[in-house]
Amino acid sequence: MTAHRRPAWRRSAITKHLQNLERHMGARLFERSARAVRPTGRGLRSLRRAT
């Protein structure tokens, strides 16, 4: 992968930020499985309020 196509954020950094957000909000915002990450009901409501 060339430098201009490389993602700006590493997956581990994104995971850490999402975990911090969940801790700050006091709620689980995402359901995680081995192959997918999906928003919970609370996560969807938070997203709607943020946009």
Q: Looking at residue 20, what is its pLDDT?
A: 96
Tokens of 35: 């192959």
Q: Which of 26, 23, 30 is nearest to 47 (CA)?
A: 30
Q: What is the pLDDT of residues 8-46, one digit of tens each?
A: 888 889 889 999 999 999 999 999 998 898 999 999 999
Measured distance CA(51)–CA(48) in Å, rounded: 5
Please count the other Cβ atoms lying within 10 Å of the Cβ belonging to residue 28.
13
CA pair distance 35, 51, nearest whole angstrom: 27
pLDDT band at 2 (very low <50, low <70, confident <90, very high): low
Residue 1 is classified by DSSP as -
Q: Within a 13 Å sphere around the CA of 49, how many CA atoms are in the beta-carbon half?
A: 6
